[in-house]
Structure 1
C-alpha cells in the first residue's frame, strides 16, 4: 500500500506510540498537563523475536540465552548452552493499517571462551512505498522508506553467576532522501547499550526438582540525536529495562519460567507552557544528558505521572524436555501514556537443541487496535564445536577468556 510522506514522517519521527494513537488520551495540555514521551526511530525498541513476543515482550532476565539476547540483554550470552548460535526473525507490522510494512532481525554470537562472547545483529525496518505529489497534485515519484541498525556486542563474565555486556550500534533512517520536493537527507547516528545479568539455581540432580532465579538490566540506545538535514534534531529512544525471572523445575522433563519486565523510555516528557503568548514545549531543547537522565523527574504531573510512563510486561512459559514450549503474556501501558494493552501467546519447538522455531501472536484488549493480527516468527540455529560445548559447571578462570 502506498502512503503519503506526511503519514510516514509524523508516525516514525515524531510519535513513538503512533501504533495506538487512536486509543490514547490527549497528548499534552498547557500548564502541567499529561504528555507522552516521543522519539525518532522507534523501531530500535520493537520486539524482534517471537519468543519474547509471546511472553508479553519480556526478555531482559529470560533465563535461557540465545542469539536474540543481543537485543534484550547480551550479558546472558556467556550462559548459553552452545558456543555459537544464530537467529532470524520476521514481523509484518501494523497489518490493520498497511500491507507493505515489516521488519526483520538477524543476529548471531560466538563464545571466545567460557568467560567472554562476541556477537552482532542487524535490525531492518521497511516502511513501504511512499508516493509524492506536487502542490497541484501531480505525481512526483515514489520512494521506499527504510531504516536499519547494525550492532556489535561484547560480553564478559565477572563471576560464576554474574556478567556484563556492551553493544555498539550504527543506525540509519532514510525516509525520503533524494526525492523531489521533500528536502530530507538520511539521518544517522551511533549509540551504545550497557547490560548486566545475574542468575542462580538450587536443583536436585536425582529428581530434577528445584528453583532458578535471574535478574537483568539494560540501558539501551545511549547516543546522539538524529538529524534529517534541517535545523531540528530528534531524540532517539534511549530506554531502561529492568526485569526478573523465576524458574520452577517440576522434574527432569517439565519446567515453568515466570518473567516480568519494567520499561521506561528515557526521552523528555512534553511540557507545554505559554511562552510569549505561544505554546512551547519547554523540555524539547535540553542537552542530551539532561534530557535522558532528567526524564525520571521532568513530568509536569510529578512522581505519579512518572510512574505512568513505566510499562509492565509479564510472561509465563512451559517447557517439556527442552523441546516443546507453550507461552502466554501480557503488556500494559497507562491510558494516559499511549494505552497499549494486549495479551500475547505462542509456541516453540526445538530439535536436538540445534534447530528451533518460535511463533507468537498479539491479542489486543481493545477493538480496533492497529496491533491486531500481528504475528512474529523466528528461526534459531545453535552450533557447538566438535570438541566441546562450554559448560557452566566449569570454574571461572581469569586466564580462560
Structure 2
C-alpha cells in the first residue's frame, strides 16, 4: 500500500513513516534492524505523540519541568505538583502547536487541561491531548485512490494528587489512549485503530533554603509515565509497547519579591526494550529479545542495550532551562535539549516568553533549529486562567 498526496515526495514518505510507524519500524520487528552495534539504534514505540511536550512553558525550556512550580499545565509534566497550588483554586489551560510543519502543513497537537483543589491535601485534574496528522490521500500499488483520511491519536487523563506533608506530594494519572492511523476508515481489511490504558506515577518535593543569603526554593520531581497495556491494532495479531518513560529532575528558584530566577535540569529515559543486534539470519547476537511482557520490558530497559552500560547512558536525554520573571508579569525563558546522536539524535535550543496579568497567562515558545531538523521553527501557543472559589 502507498500514500499519495499533493505534497513533495519527501513529505509523502515522512507521512507514510508516521502512519505505519508501528508496523514498519517497531522494536518487535527484525525487518531493517541494526546489524552493527556501533550504528544508530533508536528505540521505537507506539503512539510516540505521548512524548511531545504540548505546553509552551516547558517547551521554551528544553522540555524541562518535572520539578517546576505548578500551574494548570502540570498534569502533563508532574501531576503531584498540583498539591502545592493555593487552596481553593481551580484553573484551566489550553495550548496548540503546528507540528513538523517543515514536512507537513496540517499536522498539529492540541492540549486542554484543568485542575480543582478540593482541600489542603487533595487535588483532582483532567486533560486531553489530540494529535492530528492532517489529511492523507491513500492509494494502492496501482495508484488507484482508496480515499482521503485524517489519521489522529488522542489521550484522555484523569489525575489525582495528595499532599503528604508541607514539602512532599504524590500523584498519578489514569490514561485512555486512542490511535486511529486511518482516521476511522478501513483499508484492505485493516482499520488501523488501536486502544490502550496506561497510568502515571509521580512525586514532588520542595524545600525552602537560603542561597548566599538569598531565599530560594529547591524542588525535585519524578514522573513515571505511560505504564500500561500494549497497543494492539484491529485485524492484526501484533502488539506494541507504549512509550513508558522516566523523567527525573530538579528546579532551583532564586530571589525574593517579584523578580526571580528559576534554573531547571531534567533527565529522561524511555523504559521500553532496546532493539538487539541480529545476524543476517535474524538471530540475536547481542542484546535481548524485545518480544516480552510489559513489566519485563520496563525493568529490563535499564540493562538490555546491546552495547552495554555505555549504550544505556546514551539513551538518557538531558534538558536544561531557565526562567527569569520580572514583577511576576513578564517571563523570559530559554533552554536546551540534548539526545545522543546514536539514539534519538535530537538536540536543539528553545526560547520563550510569558505574559501574566491578574489570573490570566499567555505563553509562547519557539524551537530554534537548523539544517534538516524537522522540528526547527516549531511554535507553541498557550493560555491559562486561575480562579478562587473564596473570592
> TM-score w.r.t. structure 1 length?
0.87
Match of 1:252 in 2: 257
Q: Is the 8 A contact 1:241 1:261 kept in 2?
A: yes
**d(CA) in 2 for partners of 1:386 and 1:380?**
19
Match of 1:102 in 2: 108
Length, aligned pairs only? 371
Match of 2:383 in 1: 379
- Runs (4+) off by over 6 Å: none
Match of 2:271 in 1: 266
> 1:8-56 CA deviation, whole Å, 9 max, x = no partner?
3234666599xxxxxxxx9722568652111010011100100000011
Task: Find the partner of 2:304 among 284, 298, 301.
Answer: 298
Matched position secondary structure for 2:279: strand
The farther-off stretch of 52-61 and 74-83 is 74-83
Match of 1:131 in 2: 137
Match of 1:192 in 2: 199
Matched position secondary structure for 2:313: helix
| 1:216-231 mapped onto 2 (5 Å cutoff) | 216-229=221-234, 230-231=236-237
Match of 1:202 in 2: 209
**d(CA) in 2 for partners of 1:130 and 1:183?**
16
**d(CA) in 1 for partners of 2:189 and 2:120?**
52
Matched position secondary structure for 2:135: strand
Q: What 5-or-longer segments of structure 2 have no aligned partner?
A: 7-11
Task: Find the partner of 1:147 among 132, 149, 153.
Answer: 153
> 1:289-324 CA deviation, whole Å, 9 max, x = no partner?
111110000001100000000000000110012111
| 1:338-349 mapped onto 2 (5 Å cutoff) | 338-349=344-355
* Structure 2 residue 318 is matched with structure 1 residue 312: yes
Structure 1 residue 203: deviation in Å?
Answer: 6.4
Q: What 5-or-longer segments of structure 1 have no aligned partner?
A: 18-25, 388-401
Matched position secondary structure for 2:20: helix
Matched position secondary structure for 2:134: strand
| 1:161-176 mapped onto 2 (5 Å cutoff) | 161-176=167-182
**d(CA) in 1 for partners of 2:311 and 2:347?**
18
Q: Is the 8 A contact 2:169 2:204 kept in 1?
A: yes
Distance 1:274 1:127, change over 3 A: same
**d(CA) in 2 for partners of 1:31 and 1:377?**
41
> TM-score w.r.t. structure 2 length?
0.89
Matched position secondary structure for 2:297: helix
Distance 1:228 1:248, change over 3 A: same
> 1:72-100 CA deviation, whole Å, 9 max, x = no partner?
00111011136111100001000110001
Match of 2:9 in 1: none
| 1:39-54 mapped onto 2 (5 Å cutoff) | 39-54=45-60
Task: Find the partner of 2:19 among 9, 16, 20.
Answer: 9
Structure 1 residue 377: deviation in Å?
Answer: 0.6
* Structure 2 residue 336 is matched with structure 1 residue 336: no
**d(CA) in 2 for partners of 1:240 and 1:180?**
36
